[in-house]
Amino acid sequence: MKNYTVLDKGRVTTPCGVFDGVEKLVEYETGEILGLNFNARNILRTRSGEFVPFYEQTARRKNKLAVECHKNGALKAAALNEPGEVPTPVGALPAELVTFYDTGELSRVFPRDGAISGYWTEEDERRLYTPLSFDFGFTRFTALVSCVAFYRSGAVRSVTLFPGELIRVTSPVGDVAVSGGFSLYEDGALASCEPSYPVKIPTPIGVLTAHDPRAAVVSADSCSLRFNRSGAVSSLRTARDAVAARLPDGRVCLRAPAEAPHPSDGDQTVTAAMTVAFGGGVVTIDGESFDIGECDFTVAPYAARCGGCESCGDCGGCA
């Protein structure tokens, strides 16, 4: 349902403000305002302060909507014309893009907002960043940060690191080198992290090597090594191990990482990590569940030649 009014001379009245110089207006399929672009300076007033939405086009930020709205009309995102600062419970953060919940609370702060392309490289973007310092108890660091996300309460939900950054995290399973970032429970406990290097993790079925070499962390809200609220490992991804489960009837099921075509070289393959999750006395490996109390498990180094049970004449023999 339409929730905005177009006035004369490019002026538009919306639930989150009156804007001048509107040169582009995008709707949801149901008619509500989705986003706006401007060719004039406007001031956007939010709970987190006043911002000037993006209105000066540059190749670094081309095709950018300056303001985005939730379907209920509340502000969803504001791309700022120039970097500013946003007050947060962990201090003022530099911001070039800010997002909000549909009830108005701050959701994410992005210190920079350039679009990586042939014209603007990741290294070009890196040079614009300023290192930020944080202390969460389980980790204290100074690094380039791509995004800080918040719960509605204001507590930090996740910290996403700029590509190439590396920090140390004291996790429930020991010290872990982390790239990509980490997430937190609302009470501040570590919820997940992205191991930069293979790390040995004790689990109910044996020691597994947690590491996903192909992890591409766009958002650190949920990384590949996860912990439950009591600190136990709830899931991990591994490209280093195969797991054989001997069932009560004597059958053996082997689960191992898969070999996938290389994204840029069809003659080669890359190893795709498998997910191993724990909970309720059950281990789930890439979607298949096994009762921990009824099965015997063997963990062995993964050999790339292994094609899994379907291609094996001696099921479980390689483990």
Is the pLDDT confidence value at 76 over 50?
yes
Is the pLDDT confidence value at 86 over 70?
yes
φ, ψ dihedrals at 112, nearest 5°: -135, 160
Is the pLDDT confidence value at 288 over 80?
yes
Residue 196: Cβ within 10 Å count: 18
What global pTM score does this model have? 0.89
Residue-level pLDDT at 308? 45
Q: Which pLDDT band holds residue 268 (cuts at 50, 70, 90)?
A: confident
Residue-level pLDDT at 316? 41
- What mean pLDDT, rounded, does the chain reach? 91
Amino acid at 292: I
Cα(235)–Cα(56) distance, rounded to whole angstroms? 45
Beta strand ranges found along 185-287 (DSSP E): 190-195, 199-203, 206-210, 225-227, 233-238, 241-246, 252-255, 258-261, 269-272, 274-279, 282-285
CB-neighbour burial class of residue 207 (10 A; exposed 0-12, middle 13-18, buried 19+): exposed
147-170 mean pLDDT: 97
pLDDT tens-digit map of 187-197 = 999 999 999 99
φ, ψ dihedrals at 6, nearest 5°: -95, 120
Percent helix, strand, coil in the chain (nearest 5)? 5, 50, 50
Residue-level pLDDT at 304? 59
Cα(217)–Cα(200) distance, rounded to whole angstroms? 21
Sign of the C-alpha dihedral computed for residues 81, 216, 91 and 157 taken in this order: positive
Q: Which pLDDT band holds residue 315 (cuts at 50, 70, 90)?
A: very low
Is the pLDDT confidence value at 267 over 70?
no
Mean pLDDT lowest among 18-27, 58-67, 199-208, 262-271: 262-271
How many Cα atoms occupy the beta-carbon half-sphere of 311 within 13 Å? 9
Q: Which pLDDT band holds residue 24 (cuts at 50, 70, 90)?
A: very high
Mean pLDDT lowest among 9-18, 166-175, 210-219, 307-316: 307-316
Is the pLDDT confidence value at 229 over 50?
yes
pLDDT tens-digit map of 109-145 = 999 999 888 889 999 999 999 999 999 999 999 999 9
Residue with tokens 């009762």: 291
| Start-to-end C-alpha separation, the chain | 60
pLDDT tens-digit map of 27-56 = 999 999 999 999 999 999 999 999 999 999
Q: Which pLDDT band holds residue 314 (cuts at 50, 70, 90)?
A: very low
Cα(139)–Cα(131) distance, rounded to whole angstroms? 16
How many Cα atoms occupy the beta-carbon half-sphere of 280 within 13 Å? 3
Cα(125)–Cα(254) distance, rounded to whole angstroms? 44
Cα(147)–Cα(159) distance, rounded to whole angstroms? 6
Q: Considering only CA atoms, which of 257, 153, 261, 148 is closest in space to residue 212?
A: 257
Residue-level pLDDT at 259? 83
Residue-level pLDDT at 105? 96
Residue-level pLDDT at 265? 62
